[in-house]
Amino acid sequence: MASGKILVAQGGGPTAVINQSLVGVVLEARRHLGIRRVYGAHHGVRGIVNEDFVDLTQETSGNLEGVAATPAAALGSTRDKPDLAYCQEMFKVLRAHEIEHFFNIGGNDSSDTVRIVAEEAARAGYALRCMHIPKTIDNDLVLNDHTPGFPSAARFVAQAFAGANLDNAALPGVYVAVVMGRHAGFLTAASALGRKYPDDGPHLIYLPERSFEVDKFLADVKIVYERLGRCVVAVSEGIHDAGGQPILAQLAKVLERDAHGNVQLSGSGALADLLCEQIKDKLGIKRVRGDTFGYLQRSFLGCVSDVDQREAREVGEKAVQFALWGQVNGSVAIKRSGQYAVNYELLPLQAVAGKTRTMEDELIAASGTDVTEAFHRYLRPLLGSGLPDAFRLRPNPVPKVLGR
Amino acid sequence: MASGKILVAQGGGPTAVINQSLVGVVLEARRHLGIRRVYGAHHGVRGIVNEDFVDLTQETSGNLEGVAATPAAALGSTRDKPDLAYCQEMFKVLRAHEIEHFFNIGGNDSSDTVRIVAEEAARAGYALRCMHIPKTIDNDLVLNDHTPGFPSAARFVAQAFAGANLDNAALPGVYVAVVMGRHAGFLTAASALGRKYPDDGPHLIYLPERSFEVDKFLADVKIVYERLGRCVVAVSEGIHDAGGQPILAQLAKVLERDAHGNVQLSGSGALADLLCEQIKDKLGIKRVRGDTFGYLQRSFLGCVSDVDQREAREVGEKAVQFALWGQVNGSVAIKRSGQYAVNYELLPLQAVAGKTRTMEDELIAASGTDVTEAFHRYLRPLLGSGLPDAFRLRPNPVPKVLGR
């Protein structure tokens, strides 16, 4: 006899809307007569191995809606990357609790975990439906137009650069800000959407899809600074040289050679600081400031795309619908329709699991330091409604009297 | 015959609402028949010395309202700190352009500039009304309940910590974020307003009003981490030891001794990174992350207190009213009335100029690492309406089956 029990878990880096997907699963599942219990795993796959579950059937709709609108992972997340043995332990627990459907919200690694657990269940002849629900601010899942979590983080980055550009115009100098995204540059590229006027920054955008040379970078900054008297730069944390070596490691080595000692550079502000040092030292520019957006870009309470919220909710809902009516395993994917609507499809787990998408060539400008119109057209609808706008005074110069 | 010309300038670090004050001056001045021209100085006092003015009489109300809602300084700002000779040059230009009223929006230094220019005008027997309009995210002007710009920056800090706390709860570890404020801890203290549930972070708050000892800091973090399995820390960039030496310099020296070289540490992420290194090395905690809020906290487009917007507009309006109807020099100050309304008073320039307010003892908890109820009561109304709220799931544990 069917237990009517399902389990949902969250994995990897939190986002502004991952709880929408959680609540989408819970509320949709609670509508179905066949589902009698909705469990959640504390801290993702680790909570499964540890049998650390909460009963989400006993949670008010009001509180669930509050949680949905709250960033980060309400169930707790984990960085554990399960191997086969780990997944076998997970399966033991799922079977012991008579779980019939397993929903895992996460990125590449989470989809791979779902794939392995599904294979274990199939091998054991146990009827377990396994669904991967997409989530990542990196936007690096293949076969998805985009992933929930990315639009809200992109909105934060665009608004942050819009403000930083204004600050830099008020007190001119060079400003370098480092954005998350080790392999995919989508989030760094979102900085371009913060521009309004023709001379607004970011004036230079460095993505991990292109190799980075410090000398070229300095030359780029010099040209902008000489033209505008200021320069705003967006840099992905994942920038690397032509050989694939991270720039952080390369610059760190320079420092080590200078100091003949063991300088620790793993702190998160290091890359921005090192690039600023290069600009000060090599270009002789005085006012050079570096920021690292850090955890704010994925967790800030109060900067979210309503489109992202809606879609994150829907991928959770669709996962339950696919599982119950389709009775197959898979990964829910977002497909774009026109400009702008979306459809949801169920992909085979192996089509998504463990694969990494990076920015397509047509989204990156030929210069390698900007995005194309196609990227603007791609990203703008995802940022949602009510984006704040920036205004400047129009020039009405007053003739000089002393004229010195 | 009266020229009917007034001049307005912006100085120091930009804020989210400094343009409200600018527009308050411009729109209020344009209502008065006696005022025929409203000039703005590009990049503050430097623009005055350079006769670099724009005519704000020729600017549409619609664009002015757009500018008012835009962060940073629309006229441009400056870090120049005028001495007597500089102020004398400024006065020469003001006289040459027949300026009758000079409005300077800024902090301590800006008020001192206004004072010196006013004295120069008086000495020359030239009828110049000089007004200082308060602005600073540091909230460090004496005789003001608070200063425009601070509430919006405080709101950013509170929302940032609310999100960072959720992120840290989802992926536990130690999180250290460095907040602006070299001498006054108000902005760092605002992190406390990001808490909702009893165990929410920031769990520790370090202010420049109290001396900082690295060993005590590590012991504090250890206690919280052992109790909760995680710890969120707010640190002012201005923390210093009992002798007044900045902690950044102290920790940098430790690194220098280790490395026998010249490690550059002036980059803005350095303090957070160094504190994180201490926690990793001395407490053996693995997941330790540091952020520096940097320029986002004062320039982010889309995080503003509506109370701050309104008051910043009003101090600009009041400055014009005081100047025209009072015919005296002075500094506009915000006084609190009840919980919560404000009145505006005109203070003598010398009462405010060049003085620095720090947090009053009754706002700081006896532990030295938290704020008091009085601080919550002080700050909450300033943050404005529509603050986002954070929700968490209520505990409904599922009994274990395998029970390992």
Question: Are A163 and B92 inside 8 Å of each other by CB?
Answer: no
Pairing of strands A53-55, A37-41: antiparallel
pTM, full prediction:
0.96
CATH code: domain B5-148+303-352 is: 3.40.50.450
The pLDDT of residue A39 is 98
Q: Is B26 left (phi over 0), alpha (psi -120 to 50) or beta?
A: alpha
Using alpha carbons only, what angle is made at residue B95 by residues B91 and B99, rounded to the nearest 5 degrees? 105
The pLDDT of residue A266 is 35
Using alpha carbons only, what angle is made at residue A221 by residues A217 and A226, rounded to the nearest 5 degrees? 150
Question: Are B269 and A264 inside 8 Å of each other by CB?
Answer: no
Residue A335 pLDDT > 50, yes or no? yes
CATH code: domain A151-301+361-383 is: 3.40.50.460
For residue B41, give the DSSP letter: E
List strands edge to edge, sheet with A288-292.
A204-206, A231-236, A174-179, A288-292
- Residue B169 structure tokens: 């709860």
The pLDDT of residue B248 is 86
How many Å lie between the alpha carbon of A210 and the closest alpha carbon of chain B?
Answer: 25
Q: Quick check: bond before B202 cis, omega within 30?
A: yes
The pLDDT of residue A253 is 55
Question: In this complex, which of A160, A170, A268 lies closest to B269 when CB atoms are compared?
Answer: A268
Residue A121 pLDDT > 70, yes or no? yes
The pLDDT of residue A258 is 35
Optimal mutation site among A398, A400, A402, interface B, most CBs of chain B within 10 A: A398
Cβ burial B280-308 (10 Å sphere, 16+ → b, else e):
beebebeebbbbbbbbbbbbbbbbbbebb
| CA–CA distance, A38 with A100 (Å, rounded to integer) | 10
Pairing of strands A174-179, A288-292: parallel
For residue B357, give the DSSP letter: -
Nearest to A101 by CA among A19, A20, A15, A32: A32
| CA–CA distance, A130 with A128 (Å, rounded to integer) | 6
Considering only the top CATH level, what class is B150-301+361-383?
alpha beta
- Provide, rounded to the nearest whole percent, the portion of chain A with pLDDT above 70: 96
Question: What is the topology classification, in CATH, of domain A5-148+304-352?
Answer: Rossmann fold (3.40.50)
Are A389 and A160 spatial neighbours (Cβ–Cβ below 8 Å)? no
* pLDDT tens-place string over residues A235-251: 999 999 999 988 988 88
pLDDT band at A357 (very low <50, low <70, confident <90, very high): very high
- The answer for residues whose C-beta is within 8 angstroms of residue B375's C-beta and 6 or more apart is B189, B192, B359, B363, B364
The pLDDT of residue A125 is 97
DSSP H helices in B292-361: 296-299, 306-321, 349-352
Task: Calculate the CA A88 to chain-centre distance.
Answer: 29
Q: How many residues does chain B have?
A: 404
Question: In this complex, which of A40, A263, A394 lies closest to B59 when CB atoms are compared?
Answer: A394
B233 forms bridges with which residues in the sheet? B176, B204
Residue A271 pLDDT > 80, yes or no? yes
Question: Are B170 and A96 inside 8 Å of each other by CB?
Answer: no
pLDDT band at A269 (very low <50, low <70, confident <90, very high): confident
Question: Are A267 and B255 inside 8 Å of each other by CB?
Answer: no
* pLDDT tens-place string over residues A54-93: 999 999 999 999 999 999 999 999 999 999 999 999 999 9
Question: In this complex, which of A14, A277, A389 lies closest to B264 when CB atoms are compared?
Answer: A277
pLDDT band at A268 (very low <50, low <70, confident <90, very high): low
Q: Which residues of chain B have a CB within 8 Å of the CB of A248?
A: none
The pLDDT of residue A48 is 98
Search chain A and give the residue with CA nearest B158.
Answer: A301
Per-residue pLDDT 10s for chain B (404 aa) are 589 999 999 999 999 999 999 999 999 999 998 999 999 999 999 999 999 999 999 999 999 999 999 999 999 999 999 999 999 999 999 999 999 999 999 999 999 999 999 999 999 999 999 999 999 999 999 999 999 999 999 999 999 999 999 999 999 999 999 999 989 999 999 999 999 999 999 999 999 999 999 999 999 999 999 999 999 999 999 999 999 988 988 887 544 433 334 333 334 688 998 999 999 999 999 999 999 999 999 999 999 999 999 999 999 999 999 999 888 899 999 999 999 999 999 999 999 998 999 999 999 999 999 999 999 999 999 999 999 999 999 989 999 999 76
The pLDDT of residue A2 is 85
Are B7 and B94 spatial neighbours (Cβ–Cβ below 8 Å)? yes
Q: Which residues of chain B have a CB within 8 Å of the CB of A255?
A: 263-264
- In the A/B pair of chains, how many CB contacts fall below 8 A? 295
For residue A245, give the DSSP letter: -
Pairing of strands B99-106, B204-206: unpaired
Q: Which residues of chain A have a CB within 8 Å of the CB of B194?
A: 301
| Catalytic residue positions of B, numbered | 138
Search chain A and give the residue with CA nearest B403.
Answer: A51
Optimal mutation site among B89, B391, B404, interface A, most CBs of chain A within 10 A: B391
How many Å lie between the alpha carbon of A363 and the closest alpha carbon of chain B?
Answer: 25
Q: Which residues of chain A have a CB within 8 Å of the CB of B107?
A: none
| CA–CA distance, A157 with B300 (Å, rounded to integer) | 10
Do the domains at A5-148+304-352 and A151-301+361-383 have one common CATH topology? Answer: yes
- The answer for residues whose C-beta is within 8 angstroms of residue A131's C-beta and 6 or more apart is A101, A102, A103, A104, A114, A319, A322, A323, A329, A330, A331, A332
Question: In this complex, which of B162, B268, B393 lies closest to A301 when CB atoms are compared?
Answer: B162
Domain boundaries, chain A: 5-148+304-352, 151-301+361-383
